[in-house]
Amino acid sequence: MNTFETDKFTNTNILIRTFLPLKRETITALNLMIYMIRGRTEKLESKRDFAKASSMAYGFRTFYGLNGYGEKVAIDIRFQYIRSDYIDEEHYVDDLCFLMDQVLFHPYVDKAAFEEAKFVMSQSRIRQLDDPDSLAILEALKITKESSSLGIPIQGELEDIEKVTFEDVKKALEEFMEAPKYIAVAGRGDKKIVDLLSTLKPAAFTCDKFELIHDVKYQEKTIEKHISQTSLVQIYATHISIDSPLYYPLLVANSILGASPMSLLFENVREIKSYCYSISSALLRFDGGLIIICGTDKDHVDGVIDEIHKQIQILKGGSFDPELLEIAKKDLVDTLIGQEDRPFEMIEQQFADMYLKRKDTSLEKRVAAIESVTMKDIEEAVAGFELATQVLVTQKEDEEVEI
């Protein structure tokens, strides 16, 4: 078990992570399964019973989530509880153990929950697809690597919901329960709870293979809707995997381009040209990709695209102010140090180090790796950037009516 003992948090924070393959055939069933087991266990069969028991345990919290890790999907259960030395009740830790035991070992599913999950999941997906930004991102990911893990939406496919059977979900649950788990605790631990968690089958997940975006053939798509603002998404292939020596320079390059407070995109597209309120970039860590997202008016789209292209050329040529390199590094260093104050980020960092089989993973080493990145490293990291996909969800103009 991975533990981060500290007295500074009010909560004790626990992550239990399971890895399963990320496949189009099973992702929707996994999503339905997660919905079904949320708030229902063998002894707390109704949402009401579970909510009452959790509330009485000083707002004990259970979160479920799915996250993509290249070809794998991580199924997370997170617990948060007020640390026991703050609560003056004899049975408090026993109540917590009961709840965790129920969630981890005795989830409950039935056909009624299955029907409910299908309804709720459909509504969630419809809401997501109605949102222009979400729609643009999902479409861009899909067409970038149509038949690969990048193109599989983690939230499942709307059109697959009715195809999934109750048996599919039961099978997914069985696989989930059987699979080994990564377990981590951040905060002030309690022996009884640690003993309970120790009965799970532990795992140390590692990754050897990364399926990066490659054989780039540029694709674009435009979708029209009656909306107030156009969403523009571009995906670039970086050809750099997360375990590459160029990964830290790539991190810094992304910060300079669109993630730091003085990024090239923010300064030029927003501050100088006033084309938008929001523009940013982020890495698709396990896929060798970089995504740029911008909300702008239809009349400015061409200007935004030109400016993005211009700033990427500036980045490639190393012809940006060296001060921006220092600012980007400081911003990343601050984020790294700040992780020590955010329990689930501490856990995620340790997990990533384990997953990628990194050695020398102290905070000092990571900070040194960032601080040592040079302009030449940046140029090398961005040299291979290729635009793979562009999606616009744009403002539909009403047809003129002839009189």
Partner 1 sequence: MKYNLDILSQTLSNGMEVVLVHKKDYQKSLFCIGIPAGGFNIEEIKDGKHVTNRTGVAHFLEHQMFRLNGKDVTEEFAKMQAQANAFTSYTETCYYFMTTANPLKPLGLLMDMVQNLDVTKQSVDKEKGIILSEYSIYDQQPENQMIRQIFNSLYEKHPLKTEILGTPEDIQKMEMEDLMKFYNTNYDPSRLVLVGVTGKDLGPIMDFIEKKEENYPSKENKNPSRFFDDEPERVNREYYSKNMDITEPYVIIGYKLKPVKGIMKAMKEDLMVSLWLDASFGPLNPDYQKWIDEKIFSNGASTEADLDIDHAYICFWAQTRKKEEFIQLVDSLVKHRKISREAFDALKIQAIARNLRGLDHFENMATDLIRSKFLGFDYVEALDLAKNLDYDEVNAFIEGLDLSHRAIVEILPENEQDGK
| 230-237 β-sheet, strand order | 219-225, 386-395, 230-237, 289-296, 276-284
| Shortest distance (Å) from residue 112 CB to partner 1 | 7
Pick 71 or 331: Cβ nearer partner 1? 331
| Shortest distance (Å) from residue 121 CB to partner 1 | 9
Pick 147 or 274: Cβ nearer partner 1? 274
| Shortest distance (Å) from residue 194 CB to partner 1 | 21
| Shortest distance (Å) from residue 183 CB to partner 1 | 22
| Shortest distance (Å) from residue 236 CB to partner 1 | 24
- d(C-alpha 17, C-alpha 77), whole Å: 6
| Shortest distance (Å) from residue 154 CB to partner 1 | 17
Pick 147 or 228: Cβ nearer partner 1? 228
| Shortest distance (Å) from residue 386 CB to partner 1 | 29
The answer to whether 307 and 264 have CB atoms below 8 angstroms apart is no
Pick 112 or 147: Cβ nearer partner 1? 112
Pick 39 or 288: Cβ nearer partner 1? 39
Pick 58 or 210: Cβ nearer partner 1? 58
The answer to whether 32 and 117 have CB atoms below 8 angstroms apart is yes
Q: Which residues bind partner 1 (CB under 8 A)?
A: 6-11, 39, 46-48, 50-52, 55-56, 58-59, 82, 86, 88, 112, 116, 119-120, 123-124, 126-127, 129-132, 225-229, 260-262, 270-271, 274-278, 295-297, 323, 326-327, 330-331, 333-334, 337-338, 340-341, 396
The answer to whether 202 and 181 have CB atoms below 8 angstroms apart is yes
- d(C-alpha 138, C-alpha 146), whole Å: 11
As given in the structure block, the two tokens for residue 363 are 């905070």
Pick 49 or 211: Cβ nearer partner 1? 49
Residue 184's nearest CA partner among 66, 360, 10, 348 is 348
Q: Which residues contact 259 (CB under 8 A, 6 or more apart)?
A: 280, 281, 282, 328, 331
- d(C-alpha 268, C-alpha 279), whole Å: 10
The answer to whether 229 and 297 have CB atoms below 8 angstroms apart is yes
Residue 55's nearest CA partner among 35, 15, 78, 82 is 82
Buried b (16+ CB within 10 A) or exposed e, 41-76: beebeeeeebeebbeebbebebeeebebbbbbbbbb
| Shortest distance (Å) from residue 180 CB to partner 1 | 31
- d(C-alpha 254, C-alpha 135), whole Å: 23
| Shortest distance (Å) from residue 262 CB to partner 1 | 5
Q: How many helices (H) and strands (E) does the chain have?
A: 14, 10
Pick 58 or 205: Cβ nearer partner 1? 58
Q: Which long-range contacts (CB under 8 A, 24 or more apart) does 270-274 make?
A: 273/300, 273/303, 273/307
Pick 181 or 270: Cβ nearer partner 1? 270
- d(C-alpha 242, C-alpha 254), whole Å: 13
Element (H, E) at 62: strand 61-69
